[in-house]
Structure 1
C-alpha cells in the first residue's frame, strides 16, 4: 500500500485567475499521484525518483476563479489526504477573483522546526504553527493569499536533538561534519522534521507558498568570500554537503516556485521525470551550479494580479573574486532588471500607455515586491561596518588590513548587500528607476529576513527628489528562532546617533564612496517569533506585524497551553 510520506504542499496558484495550481507530495514508493477538487478540477502526475525517494508536483487545472474548493490527494487511486483522523478543516485551493480586490502576503524567515507538542519549546511559540491554529479555528476569516518564506527553511548546521539521534544511527558523529547534515538523505530528515509538524503541514497544504534559500539551508555564512569558499572546498565532507543541499533545495523548494508553464519548459525537470532514477542527472546539475553560479537560476518572478514579486537569489548567484565582488553575476543581475522593468519601458507599453493587463496610463503593476533573504537596508552602523570591511578586504588600506578584514568578515557575518557596495548601488538605482515616472507603482517593498528581528526602514536619495513610489525595506525574522540579549542591544545601538557617527568614521578610514541613499528606521526593532503581512488593495498598502505569544505571557516566557498571534504594529504604507 502506497503511503504519503510528506506533504501535500500547495505551491503555485495562478495569480491572474487562470484556474491552475500545483501541489507537491512525497510518496514512499513509485506511484501515480492525483489531486481531486470539490469543484471537479483535477490533476495527476507520476512520481519521479531521487536518491531512493519519490516525489510528484501535480499540476491542477480547471479551477474556478474566485472560489475556495477542498481537495483530496490520492496515490494509486487510494485517498491519502486528508487523514481520516485529522483535527483540521479540509485543505482547500483558493483561487483569486478576476479582478481580485485584495491580496494578502505574509512573510518571514528563519525557522527552527518546532519540538513535538508534548515537549516544552524553549524559544516560544512558532509563528507558522500559531498562524495555522488561527486559520483552522476560523476557516472563513481572512488569511494569507500567499506565504513567502525568505530563507533558512531548514538548518543544516544547527540540528535538533531528534535529528542528531537519527544522524548517529547512520554514522559516527565524532567525525566531521559531526552533528551537521552530511548528504541528501540527511537533508530529507530535516524536511521531514520541519514539515511534518501537524499544524504546519496543514497550513502549507492550504496556503500557497513561495520560497528562497539563505545560508543555513546549506551552512552559516554560505559564500561569504572567495577565501571562505576555498577553505570549505578543502574540507573532505563539503562536496557531499553542498550537493545534497542544492539537490534537496531543487526538489523540496525550488520546483514549487515555478508555474506549470515554466515547469513544462524546464529541461532538467523533464529529464529527471523521464528517467527511472533522476539522481545522477540532478547531482550533475548541482555540481555545475556549485562550480559556476551562472549555470543555474534560483531567482523567479510571480505576478499576483497587479502585484509583482521578483524573488532574488542573494546566496548562490554571487561573484566572489575580491576585485569583482557582486551579489549577483552579470546574467542574474540583467535578469532581475528585466523582470522588474518588464512592461515599464515606453517601447513596451504602446501608444495607449499602461502595461500588460493595466489600464491606460498605468504601468504593469501597482505594487512591486522584491524578495531577498538578506536586507538591502540594514541598521546604518552595520551597513557602514560591512562597507568599510569590504574596502579593507579589497586592499584599500593594504595587505595587513585586508587580512584583518577577512577575519572580521567571517567572524561577524559581514556579507549582506552592504558588503557588495556596487551591487547595493545597482539595486538602489533599479529601485529608483522602477519607482519613478507617471506609471510608477504605488509602493516598492523590499522583503527580507535573516537578522532575527523586524523593522521598517525608508530611504531617501541624496541627489534629486527620489522616486515617486513609496519605497520601504520590510524585514521580518525569525519565524521560530531566538536572538541573544547582547545582540538585541547591538541592533538597537546600530540605529542610534552615536553609532552613525562611528560608522561614518569607519567609512572615512576605508575610503568608501558616499552612498546614493540615506535611510531611517520608521518602525522597530521588534524581537520575537513573528510574521509580517502586507494587505494590498488597488494602490493602497497596509502593513501588520504579529508576534506569536503564549496566551497571557511575554514572548520570552516559554510555552503554556495555547498561543496566539498578537498585533504589535499596524500602519498604512500609502497616503
Structure 2
C-alpha cells in the first residue's frame, strides 16, 4: 500500500463532507490557486480556492441533486479532470441523498476515534486499521444500499501532532535546529498539513472519505496531549516559547481540514469565520487572528461577561431523518478556573440544552470525544483527583495536578458539575411523555471499547447508553489492560468511591453498568443503527487478516 496518491493538482481529497437535502459539500486541497468544479449528473457546483499559509483549499457546494438518489461525481481543478484518479481500482465516488419516507425513520452512524497513520508509517506494529477494513468491506458491498452508512462520525485524534510517524519526524529533523524545543512534534501550519497529507492519502481512506459523508471533532492529540486539562496546565504551556505558535497553527489547521467541512451548505454564509476566509483570497492572517482569539476562551470562560463574548462555537448539530446528532467540543472551550470547572461555557451549554430538547426527533445522539460514563472505579478516581487538585494546600494540589497529567484524569468525571448536569438533562428529557426512544453518547479516547447503560431512575423510560469505540488504529499498552478491566469491578469502585467521599465528593446521582461483551482492546469501528423506535449498536474489531469481526452487539431499546 502506498500513500503517494496524487493527481497532479489535487493534493488531498476529495472529501464528501455534508449532505443536506439536495445539496452536498466537497472539500479539496489543491497544489495551486484554481477554480474547482464538481459534476454529479445534472447537479454540480464550483468554487475558487482560498490560500492559507501557502496552501490552497476549496469547499464546493454541489446543488441540484435528486432526493433519494445515488450519483457518481467528478472533480475538475482548473479544467483538468482530477477525480476519479486515472486507472483507479476502486469503485466510483458517489453522493447518496436521503429521500424516501422509510429513510426518514432510519439512520446509520459509523463512529470511532484515535487513528494513527497506517502500519508502514509507524514505528510500532499495530493491529490492522479498522477504518481501512471498513472501507474494503464497503467496496465489496457497493451495490447493497443496506451496507452504506448515513455518516461517518470521527470524534477525536484524527491526526497526532505530538506522536508523529518516522516519515514526518525525518521531515521535521531536516528543517529544524538541534535545540528546537518541540523535537518530534509539529508546530507550523505547514507541518500540520503533512499529518493530514500522510493520513488522508491512504488509498482506502481517501476513497472512503470521498464517498461517505463525514463530520469530525478534535480531541487533545490534534494539538498536544492533555490539551486544556487544567488552569495549571495552561499556565505551564503559556510559559513555553513555542506554545503560542503551536496552538495558533493547530487551531487554524483544524478549522481548515476538519471543522470547515462540518458546516452544512446552508450554514456557510452564517458562520462567523467561513465568509471571511472564502473571500480573503489569502486567509493566513484571518486564520491566525481567529486562532489566537479562540484559544483565549478557556482563560475567561468563568467570567460573567463570557456569556456575551463567545469567540466561536466548535459544537454543532445535525438532523438525519428522525435522529438528532449533537457533537460537543470537549477541549477548546473548557472552563478551567478551579472554582468553576466545566466542559462547556454557559452560553454553549445553553445552546446544547436547546438542541437536546425537541419533538422533531425519535433518537438523541450526543457526540463527545471523551466518555461521559467511564468504568466506575476510574470515574471515582477522577472525581477525587479534581477535588484534591483544587486543594488550598499547595503540596496536595501539586500532587493532584501531577497525577492528573500522568494518567489523563480529565474526562467528564473530572468535571463533576458538567457530569451531573448531563445526567440531569437526560432525566428531564427521558422523563418527558414525548421524549426520545433512546439517548446515546458516542465517545472514544480511552483506547478500549464498551457499552454502558445508565440507571437514572425507575420513572425514566428512555434508555440512556454510553457507547465508547476506541481506537481505530492505535493500541493501549498491555500493562494498562488489567487496570481498565479492574475499573469495572465492584470492589475497585467501592475503594475509589471511599477515597472520593473522604474529600467531600458527593455520591453520583446515577449508577451505570456495562452491557454486552467487553471491554475490547483491539482496533475497532462501531455502528449505531436506528430503525423506527429501535436502536442497536455493533462494535467490530479487526482480525489479524485485516477483516472486521463483531465483538459486541447490543439492542439499546426494547420497544
TM surpasses 0.5 = yes
Shift of 1:267: 3.9
Shift of 1:214: 0.2
Aligned to 2:152: 147
* 3-state SS of paired residue (2:17): strand
| 1:195-233 alpha-carbon deviations (Å, 9 max, x no partner) | 010110000000100100000010000001111101001
Aligned to 1:519: 512
* 3-state SS of paired residue (2:160): coil
| 2:256 maps to 1:251 | yes
Aligned to 2:362: 366
Structure 2 residue corresponding to 1:226, chosen from 231, 234, 241: 231
* 3-state SS of paired residue (2:260): helix
Shift of 1:107: 0.4
| 2:118 maps to 1:114 | yes
Aligned to 1:312: 328
Aligned to 2:551: 568
Contact 2:40 2:74 in 1 (8 A): yes
Contact 1:172 1:178 in 2 (8 A): no
Shift of 1:140: 1.5
Shift of 1:2: 6.4
Structure 2: where are the runs of 5+ without partners? 1-6, 299-309
Contact 1:447 1:473 in 2 (8 A): yes
Aligned to 1:556: none
Shift of 1:74: 0.6
Shift of 1:504: 1.7
Aligned to 1:417: 412
Aligned to 1:105: 109
Shift of 1:522: 1.2
Shift of 1:116: 4.3
Contact 1:114 1:121 in 2 (8 A): no
| 2:182 maps to 1:180 | no
Contact 1:479 1:531 in 2 (8 A): yes
Shift of 1:173: 5.0
Aligned to 2:95: 93
Q: Distance in 2 between matches of 1:275 and 1:64?
A: 33
* 3-state SS of paired residue (2:85): coil
* 3-state SS of paired residue (2:287): helix
Structure 1: where are the runs of 5+ without partners? 345-362, 552-562
Aligned to 1:555: none
Structure 1 residue corresponding to 2:9, chosen from 3, 7, 15: 3
* 3-state SS of paired residue (1:444): strand
| 1:47-74 alpha-carbon deviations (Å, 9 max, x no partner) | 0110001100111111111111110111
| 1:236-284 alpha-carbon deviations (Å, 9 max, x no partner) | 1111110111000000000111111111212421112222211001100
| 2:316 maps to 1:300 | yes
* Deviates most, 430-439 or 372-381: 430-439
| 1:533-574 alpha-carbon deviations (Å, 9 max, x no partner) | 0111111112111111223xxxxxxxxxxx211112223211
Structure 2 residue corresponding to 1:497, chosen from 486, 490, 501: 490
Shift of 1:460: 1.2
Contact 1:288 1:295 in 2 (8 A): yes
Normalised by the size of structure 1, how large is the TM-score? 0.91
Q: Distance in 2 between matches of 1:173 and 1:313?
A: 36
| 2:384 maps to 1:391 | no
Q: Distance in 1 between matches of 2:262 and 2:271?
A: 12
| 2:350 maps to 1:334 | yes
Contact 1:2 1:75 in 2 (8 A): no
RMSD between aligned alpha carbons?
1.5
Contact 2:430 2:436 in 1 (8 A): yes
Aligned to 2:307: none
* Deviates most, 416-425 or 508-517: 508-517
* 3-state SS of paired residue (1:187): helix
Aligned to 1:360: none
Q: Distance in 2 between matches of 1:545 and 1:267?
A: 37
Contact 1:41 1:60 in 2 (8 A): yes
